[in-house]
Structure 1
């Protein structure tokens, strides 16, 4: 995920919307028990944290797949691994 996107995601005042989801009662009870152990004031912030964690993992995987596809395409077009690695190092340091 890009740094600009991460900064936007860390803004506590970004717009929110209400979502209704049906979940088993026992799952809610487990979330209520776990929330304070993870430092959350209630189970809803814990659910948001779990969703955010899974979302970041999937976005990183998606972006990583795109980068891998680009690298393979560049190799097929004759760009050397040395040039590709140099470009990746430059991007990583920005």
Structure 2
């Protein structure tokens, strides 16, 4: 193996950051510190983890909502029954069980 194959050169662009200040109850802060210690993380790393996790979930939900909305728009151009469209969308969302046809 030559030297070029064994070298791994990761070039990560540093993201610009901004400091944010927020008020947290002392009880919540104490709990966060305990969890951070249990996970062997800094408090800052734990907060970033929680924010990132929540953000990814919300972004995924928003993306799914946009897909469902676009799907409903396409159905409305091809299906005349609003009730049928609603039923299909509810089934896609998992809100109702599909009917055996």
Matched ranges for 1:1-94 at <5 A: 13-40=14-41, 42-78=42-78
Larger proportion of helix: 1
What's the RMSD between the two structures over aligned residues? 1.9
For residue 77 of structure 1, give the secondary structure of its aligned residue in structure 2.
Answer: helix
- Tell me the distance in 1 between the aligned counterparts of 2:40 and 2:78: 52
**Displaced runs of 4 or more, over 6 A:** none
Segments of structure 2 that go 5 or more residues without pairing to the other structure are: 1-11, 80-101
TM score, norm. by length of structure 1: 0.64
**Change beyond 3 A, Cα 1:12–1:24:** farther
Superposed displacement of residue 21, structure 1: 0.4
Count residues in correspondence: 68
- Which one has the largest radius of gyration? 2
The structure, 1 or 2, with the larger RCO (C-alpha pairs under 8 Å, 6+ apart) is: 1
Q: Which runs of 5+ in 1 are unaligned?
A: 1-10, 80-94
